[in-house]
């Protein structure tokens, strides 16, 4: 019989065990603080979180530091999808795609400035990486097409929901579940050096400076799209441009790596996104065009192939009267992409019960717009764009109501950054490896060349984040 005395003794034992566990946990934390970590990762965007999960899976102790008070960085803003080829999702949908075609599209989009070995790894590992993400709970069941792609390969959640916030939510949970420690409001100010190698990071938190030791460091701190000083130092013509980047994308890593003579690659290759709402700087995902929208100017006319690369479309918009254009679509496109509902809630859509009503609200000639849409619908029926050669026209623009969003280009992605090899190891200016230093994501250069294709940033952070985490863990363990 379970007596009252036995019950008291049992509760006492539980209290002792609980106290012991607390003591053990405190000792572990104290030990980590004293001896450091196997791997310290800078940044909680998609690259940093992918690296954290991979490094923990490889058995390394991991600390992730983030200067912002929240996780995600620019990944929180990613909408269109994650490009990958030869995936189980594509095969289930009957989409014939190859890593070779993905490679060719990426090199062409980057004007062959990309480093081929980096692109080979990006495209060749993309399918396996998608399966890895799915195994951690990501929903990548919807597949669409973004500009510059010859096949449908942009993976995203069901219904075309935003891929970025979902990625952050799932991979942050996976990293924490795996045992990675995450610290917010912790700004890296430099790298610790020991025998000419990185040995941790110097951080500023709560007004105090702290040295955090590590056997390997992964820089995943993002690009410099929110730093107009760096941007204009490379591209003066971008003075005054808005940005789609979060406030933390300031390119701090360029200073940290100077003592190691790290190579900087393609820093002048700065991409503008063509469909950004003026003044508000809210990006409208490329997937809206991919799902059937067209671009028209103030005369109500199409002026470019909607799925051309971002640099070409940005230049075309700036050549129009007013240096803006209108993204035009119907209820059918809206129903095909959940992301549009977010734009509607933000009050970004101009709506008309008919094309004529919409034209009136936009102050463009109704007869011209109606004729232009009728002409486009004819091309969509024939599956051949007689004006601009658009290859993919998934639907006509015919289902009321009709919508438009005024857009112009804004700074979006910085293709240049730290030089790396396809093992995510950081390289010096003369091409030698900096032992123990790894990098992934927008902080690096060479993957995207002169122009990044939509969906390739998400592929980059996932593929190279995973590679960085795995290889940093191996380095830390002396393998």
Catalytic residue ranges: 310
The answer for 390, left when phi > 0, alpha when psi is -120 to 50, beta otherwise, is beta
Nearest to 325 by CA among 310, 311, 338, 314: 314
CB atoms within 10 A of CB 155: 27
Q: SS3 of 253, please?
A: helix
DSSP 8-state symbol, 137: T
The answer for 347, left when phi > 0, alpha when psi is -120 to 50, beta otherwise, is left
CB 264 within 8 A of CB 419: yes
Structure tokens at 267: 């820093």
Q: Is 247 exposed, middle or buried (0-12, 13-18, 19+ CB in 10 A)?
A: exposed
Q: SS3 of 61, please?
A: coil
DSSP 398-430: -SSSEEEEEEEEEEEEE--EEEB-TT-EEEBTT
What H or E segment, with its residue span, contains residue 372? helix 366-382
Nearest to 352 by CA among 401, 314, 291, 293: 401
| Displacement of CA 158 from its chain's centroid (Å) | 18
CB 74 within 8 A of CB 285: no
CB 45 within 8 A of CB 77: no
Angstrom distance (rounded) from CA 19 to CA 236: 61
Angstrom distance (rounded) from CA 422 to CA 104: 18
Q: Is 83 exposed, middle or buried (0-12, 13-18, 19+ CB in 10 A)?
A: buried
Angstrom distance (rounded) from CA 463 to CA 224: 21
Nearest to 324 by CA among 277, 257, 391: 277
* Beta-strand relationship, 417-419 and 444-445: parallel
């Amino acid at each position: 019989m379970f007596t009252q005395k036995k019950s008291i003794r049992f509760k006492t034992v539980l209290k002792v065990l609980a106290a012991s566990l607390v003591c053990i946990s405190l000792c572990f934390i104290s030990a980590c603080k004293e001896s450091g970590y196997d791997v310290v990762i800078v940044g909680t965007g998609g690259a940093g979180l992918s690296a954290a999960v991979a490094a923990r899976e490889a058995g390394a102790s991991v600390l992730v530091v983030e200067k912002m008070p929240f996780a995600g960085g620019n990944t929180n803003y990613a909408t269109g999808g994650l490009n990958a080829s030869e995936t189980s999702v594509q095969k289930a949908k009957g989409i014939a795609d190859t890593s070779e075609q993905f490679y060719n599209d990426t090199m062409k989009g980057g004007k062959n400035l990309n480093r081929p070995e980096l692109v080979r790894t990006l495209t060749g590992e993309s399918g396996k990486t998608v399966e890895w993400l799915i195994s951690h709970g990501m929903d990548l069941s919807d597949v669409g097409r973004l500009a510059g792609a010859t096949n449908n390969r942009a993976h995203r959640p069901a219904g075309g929901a935003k891929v970025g916030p979902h990625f952050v939510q799932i991979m942050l949970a996976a990293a924490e579940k795996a045992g990675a420690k995450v610290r917010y409001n912790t700004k890296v100010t430099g790298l610790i050096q020991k025998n000419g190698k990185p040995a941790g990071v110097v951080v500023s938190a709560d007004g105090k400076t702290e040295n955090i030791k590590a056997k390997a460091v992964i820089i995943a701190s993002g690009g410099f799209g929110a730093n107009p000083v760096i941007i204009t130092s490379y591209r003066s013509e971008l003075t005054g441009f808005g940005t789609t980047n979060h406030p933390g994308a300031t390119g701090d890593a360029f200073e940290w790596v100077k003592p190691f003579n790290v190579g900087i690659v393609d820093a002048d290759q700065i991409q503008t996104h063509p469909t950004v709402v003026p003044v508000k700087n809210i990006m409208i995902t490329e997937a809206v065009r991919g799902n059937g929208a067209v671009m028209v100017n103030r005369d109500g006319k199409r002026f470019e192939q909607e799925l051309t690369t971002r640099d070409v479309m940005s230049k075309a918009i700036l050549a129009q009267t007013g240096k803006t254009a209108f993204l035009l679509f119907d209820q059918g496109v809206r129903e095909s992409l959940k992301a549009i509902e977010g734009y509607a809630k933000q009050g970004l859509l101009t709506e008309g019960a008919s094309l004529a009503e919409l034209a009136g609200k936009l102050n463009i000639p109704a007869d011209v717009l109606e004729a232009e849409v009728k002409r486009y619908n004819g091309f969509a029926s024939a599956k051949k764009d007689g004006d601009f050669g658009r290859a993919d026209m998934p639907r006509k623009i015919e289902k009321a109501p009709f919508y438009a969003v005024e857009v112009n280009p804004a700074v979006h992605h910085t293709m240049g950054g730290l030089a790396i090899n396809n093992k995510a190891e950081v390289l010096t200016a003369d091409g030698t490896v900096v032992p123990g230093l790894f990098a992934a994501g927008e902080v690096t250069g060479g993957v995207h060349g002169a122009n990044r294709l939509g969906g390739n940033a998400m592929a980059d952070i996932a593929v190279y984040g995973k590679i960085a985490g795995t290889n940093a863990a191996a380095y830390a363990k002396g393998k």
